[in-house]
Amino acid sequence: MKTHNFSIEFFPPKTAEGIEKLRVTRAKLAELKPKYFSVTFGAGGTTQQGTLDTVMEIRREGHDAAPHLSCVGGTHESIRAILSEFKANDIHRLVALRGDLPSGYGMGGEFRYANELIEFIRAETGDWFHIEVAAYPEMHPQARSPQDDLNSFVRKMQAGANAAITQYFYNADAYFRFVEEARKAGVTAPIVAGIMPITNSTQLQRFSEMCGAEIPRWIRLKLASYGDDTASIKAFGLDVVTSMCERLLAGGAPGLHFYSLNQAAATTAIWQRLV
Ligand code: FAD
């Protein structure tokens, strides 16, 4: 496992209590020795300071950390200022995204798609940053077709991204197929599988509807059958997700990126079964 690219994602906490809880979570997850932690960035810059503060705190604790940066609603000037701040803080790795503004906001800003952000980062900062981008094995929900979405992904890689992290999924075949098609289209960079542990079926259903990730029927029905029995949901989720991770790694996935939702238990349990 140590040869794999294993990373863990947090969101920046909004309250003092959340900050303290994340410190405890991070101390536990740091024992797994991930390659880096990443910290999400609220679209429109809503968490800009929280993202940077969290990244800097993780770095002071001696771990590598990457801020996410989303461009929707941003201007060249505002993104330039953020990149300068990252550089001034000696940050060399970031996850670059378009982001989604809440409905009703329109798109606005000077960037329409993530490939424009990657081009801008490379034009402004050369090779300073190692850039990861998002990939969608089950298609991004706004894409016109899987082929269009693949073309968009290839454009982001050609714009200068170093690697990709996928949206989460529970169907390993979708991942393998996507990687195969990306390779045929000339993408040679690592495509790390994004992993969402299953711990809460209502929350999972809500997230999945928003981001277009499919919960296979058999998993949905099993989860529903457990009702409020959270221990059974967690045990089942652990089995299902661990088996999928094993299959992904055996099938050549270069690594796993865990959407931790600022919780340590599920990621730790999966990871300990994999090593
Ligand atoms: P893009 O690559 O720009 O794609 C968006 C859509 O536009 C796709 O449907 C694509 O097919 C289409 N498209 C792209 N280029 C073109 C073009 N030239 N012409 C026509 N159509 C095009 N969101 C946040 O707000 N903050 C975060 O920190 C964050 N972190 C994330 C981390 C990961 C690993 C992932 C997978 C997602 C994350 N997201 C985050 C969510 C992400 O912002 C949304 O999924 C968003 O809707 C798309 O972002 P993108 O960078 O993939 O966009």
- DSSP assignment of 237-258 equals HHHHHHHHHHHHHHTT--EEEE
**Cβ(70) to ligand 1 under 6 A?**
yes
Q: What pLDDT shows up at residue 104?
A: 61
pLDDT digits (tens, 9 = 90+) for 186-218: 999 999 999 999 999 999 999 999 999 999 999
Q: Distance, CA 202 to ligand 1 centroid (Å)? A: 24
77 noted as active-site residue? no
For residues 17-38, average pLDDT: 97
Q: Which residue, by CA, sits nearest to atom 46 of ligand 1?
A: 99
For residues 174-194, average pLDDT: 98
Mean pLDDT of the chain: 95
Q: Which residue, by CA, sits nearest to atom 9 of ligand 1?
A: 143
Q: What pLDDT shows up at residue 103?
A: 67
pLDDT digits (tens, 9 = 90+) for 73-93: 999 999 999 999 999 999 999
Q: What pLDDT shows up at residue 101?
A: 77
Q: Are 161 and 134 in contact (CB under 8 A)?
A: no
For residues 94-109, average pLDDT: 80
Q: What pLDDT shows up at residue 45?
A: 73
Biggest alpha carbon–alpha carbon distance for the chain: 53
Q: What pLDDT shows up at residue 43?
A: 80
Pocket test for ligand 1, best of 98, 133, 191 (most atoms within 8 A of CB): 98
Q: Which atom of ligand 1 is nearest to the CA of 141?
A: 9
Q: Is the pLDDT of residue 2 over 60?
A: no
Q: Are 258 and 10 in contact (CB under 8 A)?
A: no
**Cβ(151) to ligand 1 under 6 A?**
no
Query: What is the 3 state secondary structure string of 173-216?
Result: HHHHHHHHHHHHCCCCCCEEEEECCCCCHHHHHHHHHHHCCCCC
**Cβ(100) to ligand 1 under 6 A?**
yes
Q: Is the pLDDT of residue 109 over 90?
A: no
pLDDT digits (tens, 9 = 90+) for 240-254: 999 999 999 999 999
Q: Distance, CA 156 to ligand 1 centroid (Å)? A: 10
Q: What pLDDT shows up at residue 3?
A: 57
How many angstroms separate the CA atoms of 30 and 35, rounded?
10
- Residue 16 — pLDDT band, cuts 50, 70, 90? very high
| Residue with more model confidence, 1 or 160 | 160
Q: What pLDDT shows up at residue 235?
A: 98
- Residue 47 — pLDDT band, cuts 50, 70, 90? confident
For residues 177-193, average pLDDT: 98
- Structural domains for the chain: 5-197+255-263 (3.20.20.220)
**Cβ(68) to ligand 1 under 6 A?**
yes
Q: What pLDDT shows up at residue 142?
A: 94
**Cβ(141) to ligand 1 under 6 A?**
no
